[in-house]
Amino acid sequence: MAAALQTAAALMASSNLVVNSERFRFGSLLRSPAGRKGSVLVVKSDGRHSVSFNAGLRGGHLITNAVAAKSEASAKSTDSKPGHEVLLFEALREGLEEEMDRDPRVCIMGEDVGHYGGSYKVTKGLAEKYGDLRVLDTPIAENSFTGMGIGAAMMGLRPVVEGMNMGFLLLAFNQISNNCGMLHYTSGGQFTIPIVIRGPGGVGRQLGAEHSQRLESYFQSIPGLQMVACSTPYNAKGLMKAAIRSENPVVLFEHVLLYNLKERIPDEDYICCLEEAEMVRPGEQVTILTYSRMRYHVMQAAKTLVNKGYDPEVIDIRSLKPFDLYRIGNSVKKTHRVLIVEECMRTGGIGASLRAAIIDNFWDYLDAPVMCLSSQDVPTPYAGTLEDWTVVQPAQIVAAVEQLCQ
């Protein structure tokens, strides 16, 4: 675990970051018109053209591309190290495959998850290996395939339901809230629903409002649901495996822009705790709480902050429900200052809940008001600049920390 953290940290500190992220960003741009059919494999191969196109579309002053893949040089240098290198979507796939090997009750269902391999290739090759029944392509009806998953789960299977895009899961909201979250309770514990609902979400690269949903806040108040957001290949795999093994319904948030993130992960079996926050960068001055893609915006900002002489502590909260108030509390007690950075909606978002929890629990330890940087309360616009202004940028994070530490 610690090794992986270091790897992640090294990744962020890499000088190749900007170049790589430009590559990634352009790939997404090209991909965006295709929308649902977009493939991460295509993304990679498009990288070469990125520089000119990219510059034309967006102002250079915005550092929006804090997602990175390792350069070839660094990949070579780690060849001798233990573990293996994977992209995030491959890590998710590994997690699925290992759990399907381990437990015959695990099955996958959703649109185009079969031989097509899923829109982001997370289930690639699994239909060939486990058959069409265990990796089930369903007709299009989010509410009903989620309901089907719930029915199967109550019968003892452990379905992993893929929402092709998290935004489409709003169509399944009734099943998720009324049935998935409640039946265990209303049945008096007679029926359990060990289901995993997962899929790509978050603000991508110009995918428009419906494909750029920040749904964490919608789901957070549904009793009975557990929610985690992955952010690195290591925790993606670990959380996927833990979610499948959990007796509770778990919503696993993946981020469209993180699927191509590369990292060296252990060869051996491991899982991540579903309720645990992850220390990304220990520090003394201020606690920055974040998750999913914003972790990389925070790390961009952290680099600047360190250069300016600040020492921020960065925690990826990972568990969106329940919050890991133990680790978060320890950090607050140390730094006495908290900044929350999220992609979620400002009103009623994860950050709002987290801020309330911190004020409730750690008021006496706070030396400054808890700050929260969230996305604007607007549907995510399509145009690149508008989209950039919708989500939190590293410069805002730097400014917020400077204000907090005055």
Partner 1 sequence: MSISLFMSISLATYPSIGHQTKANKERQSEKPPLDLSSFLPHLLDLFSLLHSTMGLWFVRSRLAHHLGQKMASLGALQRRSWPSVSFLQLWNPLPSELVGGFSSNPINRWSDQRFASVKAESAAPVDDRCRYQVMDFPGGKVMFIPEMRFLAESPGERISCYRVLDDDGQTISGSSFQEVSKEIALKMYGDMVTLQVMDTIFYEAQRQGRISFYVTSIGEEAINVASAAALTIDDIVFPQYREPGVLLWRGFTLQEFANQCFGNKSDYGKGRQMPIHYGSNRLNYFTVSSPIATQIPHAVGAAYSLKMDKKHACAVTYFGDGGTSEGDFHAALNFAAVMEVPVIFFCRNNGWAISTPTTEQFRSDGAVIRGQAYGLRSIRVDGNDALAVYSAVHEAREMAIRESRPILVEALTYRVGHHSTSDDSTKYRPVDEIEHWRTARDPVSRYRKWIERNGWWCDDAESELRSNVRKELLHAIQAAEKMDKPPLAELFTDVYDQVPSNLHEQERLLRETIKQHPGDYPPEVPV
With vertex at residue 225, the alpha carbon angle to CA 155 and CA 387, rounded to the nearest 5 degrees, is 125
Which is the catalytic residue, given 94, 98, 111, 142?
142
- Could you tell me which stretch among 29-37, 95-103, 181-189, 381-389 binds partner 1 (CB under 8 A)? 181-189
Residue whose C-alpha is closest to residue 375's, from 389, 396, 355, 394: 389
Mark 365-404 with x for binding to partner 1 (rule: CB under 8 A) and - for no binding: ----------------------------------------
Asked if residue 184 binds partner 1 (CB under 8 A), the reply is yes
- Could you tell me which stretch among 153-161, 303-311, 367-375, 379-387 binds partner 1 (CB under 8 A)? 153-161
Sequence-distant (6+) residues with CB within 8 A of 379 are: 209
Interacting residues with partner 1 between 289 and 308 (CB under 8 A): none
Task: Report in angstroms how near the CB of residue 30 gets to partner 1 at its nearest.
Answer: 31
Asked if residue 252 binds partner 1 (CB under 8 A), the reply is no
Residue whose C-alpha is closest to residue 213's, from 201, 229, 199: 201
Asked if residue 155 binds partner 1 (CB under 8 A), the reply is yes
- Please pick, from the candidates 71, 174, 330, 376, the single residue that binds partner 1 as defined by CB under 8 A: 174
Give the whole-angstrom CA distance, residue 406 versus residue 171: 46
* Number of chain positions touching partner 1 (CB under 8 A): 48
Give the whole-angstrom CA distance, residue 290 versus residue 371: 12
Mark 185-224 with x for binding to partner 1 (rule: CB under 8 A) and - for no binding: xxxxxxxx------------------------------xx
Asked if residue 241 binds partner 1 (CB under 8 A), the reply is no
Return the residue matching tokens 């079996």. Answer: 269
Q: Which amino acid is at 54?
A: N
- Please pick, from the candidates 83, 151, 208, 282, the single residue that binds partner 1 as defined by CB under 8 A: 151
**Nearer of residues 40 and 176 to partner 1, judged by Cβ:** 176
Output 151-157 pairs: Cβ under 8 A, ≥24 positions apart: 152/107, 152/109, 153/192, 153/193, 153/194, 153/195, 153/249, 154/183, 154/191, 154/192, 154/193, 156/105, 157/105, 157/106, 157/107
DSSP designation for 112: T
- Could you tell me which stretch among 88-96, 148-156, 284-292, 294-302 binds partner 1 (CB under 8 A)? 148-156
Asked if residue 330 binds partner 1 (CB under 8 A), the reply is no
Let me know if 255 is a catalytic residue: no
DSSP designation for 294: H
**Nearer of residues 118 and 249 to partner 1, judged by Cβ:** 249
Task: Report in angstroms how near the CB of residue 252 gets to partner 1 at its nearest.
Answer: 16
Asked if residue 246 binds partner 1 (CB under 8 A), the reply is yes
- Please pick, from the candidates 10, 19, 148, 273, the single residue that binds partner 1 as defined by CB under 8 A: 148
Residue whose C-alpha is closest to residue 120's, from 190, 194, 37, 230: 37
The three-class DSSP label of residue 149 is: helix
Let me know if 128 is a catalytic residue: no
- Could you tell me which stretch among 48-56, 170-178, 201-209, 343-351 binds partner 1 (CB under 8 A)? 170-178
- Please pick, from the candidates 139, 307, 309, 406, the single residue that binds partner 1 as defined by CB under 8 A: 139
- H or E element: which one contains 25? helix 17-31
Asked if residue 325 binds partner 1 (CB under 8 A), the reply is yes
Cβ atoms within 10 Å, residue 132: 11
Interacting residues with partner 1 between 107 and 136 (CB under 8 A): 107, 133-134, 136
Supply φ then ψ for residue 114, to 5 degrees. -75, -120
Mark 69-108 with x for binding to partner 1 (rule: CB under 8 A) and - for no binding: --------------------------------------x-
Sequence-distant (6+) residues with CB within 8 A of 232 are: 4, 8, 88, 261, 263
Whether residue 26 contacts residue 54, with contact meaning beta carbons closer than 8 Å, is answered with yes
Alpha helices in 201-349 (DSSP H): 208-211, 216-220, 233-245, 294-307, 325-335
Which is the catalytic residue, given 85, 94, 211, 313?
211
Alpha helices in 36-141 (DSSP H): 40-45, 50-57, 72-77, 88-102, 126-134
Task: Report in angstroms how near the CB of residue 230 gets to partner 1 at its nearest.
Answer: 20
**Nearer of residues 60 and 189 to partner 1, judged by Cβ:** 189
Tell me which residues are annotated as active site.
142, 211
Binding site for partner 1 (CB under 8 A): 107, 133-134, 136, 138-139, 141, 143-157, 159, 174-175, 178-179, 182-192, 223-224, 226, 246-248, 275, 322-323, 325
